[in-house]
Amino acid sequence: MSFGLNNFLKKFLPKRLFYRALIIVAAPIILLQLTISIVFFDSIWIKANKGMTKSLVSEVKTLFDSFDAADSETIIFLTNAYKKNFDFVININKSENLPTTRSDRRFSPMDRSLRRELKPIFGNNYWFDTVTYIDLVDLRVRTDDQIIQIFFPKSKIAPSSVRVFVLWITLPSLILILIAILFLRNQTRPIVKLSKAAERFGRGEKVDDLRPSGASEIRKATIEFDKMMKRINKHLNQRSEMLSGISHDLRTPLTRLKLQLAMTDKKDTAKKMASDIDEMEKMLNDYLQYAKSQSEEDYIEININELVLDILENFDHSKYEFKVSENVNINGRKNLLRRSLTNIVENGLSYGDKIHVEIKKSVGNAIVIIEDNGPGLPKKEYENVFKPFYRVDKSRSLNRSGVGLGLSISQDIIKSHGGNILLSESKYKGLAVKISLPF
């Protein structure tokens, strides 16, 4: 039961903190105001209204009875006296009937109480109109041979304070809600800033404008997040510096080995060993190049379509087909993305001989799909090929000089942009690589 209610609330409550907090502040104010208004209307306004209407109808009845018994002189005297003392304008029409059209409103409290008081006294011999004139009510009552028409001010049956009262209770509430909005905005801003910083850090972007602000808990969270970010960055830098250092230092002994091999007598073995050493050198160079490019680049706005086209233009035009459905801009490190996409394009063209590239837009993501017509990959290898230096079935790719770093570097770059890379079977028989990058 409570689970259902929870789900219901989750579905209809706003998702953002600011609006939730606003509801917490504003809902009680509005509820209180509604309660006060209802109580006021019911117990004070409607009751006062009833009392006033009752006394007005009694006045009219008195007038009506007096008119019945009076001669024409007394009638003129009464008419003038009522005009002077009560603001009543009285007309007497001899040969007229009551209007046949109803002009009273069914749900208006004023009309309802007038009806309720008039009916027991005059039966069906009355007619009134509260709508035509702004400040006046037109009431007509029929006697045996004439119609008495009375115009009286509306204020006689409706307390005029109602508007003032409503204004006085809504105005302070509106001011309160306005102040709450201003305060809440200031309180939620640091949380929004922190979550944006965390999002950017997660994507691998640089975050350097994180100033603690707001309530002490949020300040503390910001300071701790900043410390954690610096610690993680330090670890990452240490790791890549160490790897670069090792790769760099390894090149010297490798060169020495090559020299020594050149001088050895066993030419056959030497040749095989030299090719192994070449491969090792390529691995080291690839890694060093990657490590170097990663530390230097800044995030800029990139048009993915232009970038992909730029990469493809380095290849023979007959070898690729490019399809764009939308223009997509993302924030990223251009050279790294170029490297990542180039690796995948090169794979497609060396394992197949034609690739199909497509760029699409989905919710919050740019999607690049690169498909080839090569032999594809068995499903069980989909995960392995992302491991560094992993190559499927060496004999298949014997004619290639790859070292097996391409896909793992590509994946690293895409993930550092907060994106994802997925492999699947292509409709062109080969491999389909789907890259999504958030914009």
Ligand X SMILES: Nc1ncnc2c1ncn2[C@@H]1O[C@H](COP(=O)(O)OP(=O)(O)OP(=O)(O)O)[C@@H](O)[C@H]1O
Chain positions contacting ligand X, by CB under 6 A: 343, 347-348, 351, 372, 374-377, 385, 391-392, 397, 402-408, 430-431
In this complex, which beta carbon is closest to ligand X, that of residue 277 or of residue 392? Answer: 392
Buried (b) or exposed (e) across 337-363, using 16+ Cβ within 10 A? bbbbbbbbbbbbbbbbebbbbbbbeee
Kindly tell me which residue out of 347, 365, 410, 426 binds Mg ion, with binding defined by CB under 5 A.
Answer: 347
In this complex, which beta carbon is closest to Mg ion, that of residue 347 or of residue 436? Answer: 347
Least distance to Mg ion, CB of residue 346, Å? 6
Least distance to ligand X, CB of residue 285, Å? 11
Structure tokens at 82: 């009522």
CB 222 within 8 A of CB 213: yes
In this complex, which beta carbon is closest to Mg ion, that of residue 190 or of residue 406? Answer: 406
- Residue 397 touches which of Mg ion, ligand X, none (Cβ within 5-8 Å per kind): ligand X
In this complex, which beta carbon is closest to ligand X, that of residue 40 or of residue 386? Answer: 386
Could you tell me which stretch among 84-92, 151-159, 304-312, 401-409 binds Mg ion (CB under 5 A)? Answer: 401-409
In this complex, which beta carbon is closest to Mg ion, that of residue 133 or of residue 389? Answer: 389
In this complex, which beta carbon is closest to Mg ion, that of residue 127 or of residue 351? Answer: 351
For residue 313, what is the DSSP state?
T
Kindly tell me which residue out of 332, 348, 376, 406 binds Mg ion, with binding defined by CB under 5 A.
Answer: 406
First to last CA, the chain: 41
Q: Side-chain half-sphere of 51: how many Cα atoms within 13 Å?
A: 7
- Residue 244 touches which of ligand X, Mg ion, none (Cβ within 5-8 Å per kind): none
Quote the radius of gyration of the chain (alpha carbons, Å): 44
Site membership for Mg ion, residue 352 (CB under 5 A): no
In this complex, which beta carbon is closest to ligand X, that of residue 204 or of residue 406? Answer: 406
**Nearest-angstrom CA–CA distance, 262 and 257:** 9
Least distance to Mg ion, CB of residue 431, Å? 11
In this complex, which beta carbon is closest to ligand X, that of residue 157 or of residue 407? Answer: 407
Cα dihedral 186/191/194/200 (nearest 10):
-100
Least distance to Mg ion, CB of residue 319, Å? 16
**Nearest-angstrom CA–CA distance, 20 and 306:** 42
List the one residue out of 327, 329, 331, 328 whose CA is nearest residue 297. Answer: 331
Buried (b) or exposed (e) across 171-199, using 16+ Cβ within 10 A? eeeeeeeeebeeebeeebebbebbeebbe
Least distance to ligand X, CB of residue 377, Å? 5
- Residue 190 touches which of Mg ion, ligand X, none (Cβ within 5-8 Å per kind): none
Least distance to ligand X, CB of residue 379, Å? 12
CB 90 within 8 A of CB 136: no
In this complex, which beta carbon is closest to Mg ion, that of residue 49 or of residue 411? Answer: 411
- Residue 332 touches which of Mg ion, ligand X, none (Cβ within 5-8 Å per kind): none
**Nearest-angstrom CA–CA distance, 215 and 407:** 45
Least distance to Mg ion, CB of residue 220, Å? 46
In this complex, which beta carbon is closest to ligand X, that of residue 126 or of residue 320? Answer: 320
Least distance to Mg ion, CB of residue 402, Å? 5
CB 405 within 8 A of CB 340: no
For residue 352, give Cα distances in angstroms to 268, 371, 392, 435: 33, 9, 15, 19
- Residue 372 touches which of Mg ion, ligand X, none (Cβ within 5-8 Å per kind): ligand X
- Residue 340 touches which of ligand X, Mg ion, none (Cβ within 5-8 Å per kind): none
Least distance to ligand X, CB of residue 374, Å? 4
Least distance to ligand X, CB of residue 3, Å? 47
Residue whose Cβ sits closest to Mg ion: 406
Q: Which helix (H) or strand (E) holds 434?
A: strand 431-438
Strand partners, 177: none
Structure tokens at 120: 């027991």
The DSSP bridge pattern shows strands 329-332 and 147-153 to be: unpaired
Could you tell me which stretch among 79-87, 206-214, 345-353, 427-435 binds Mg ion (CB under 5 A)? Answer: 345-353
Structure tokens at 426: 């292509």
> Residue numbers of the site for Mg ion (CB under 5 A)?
347, 402, 406
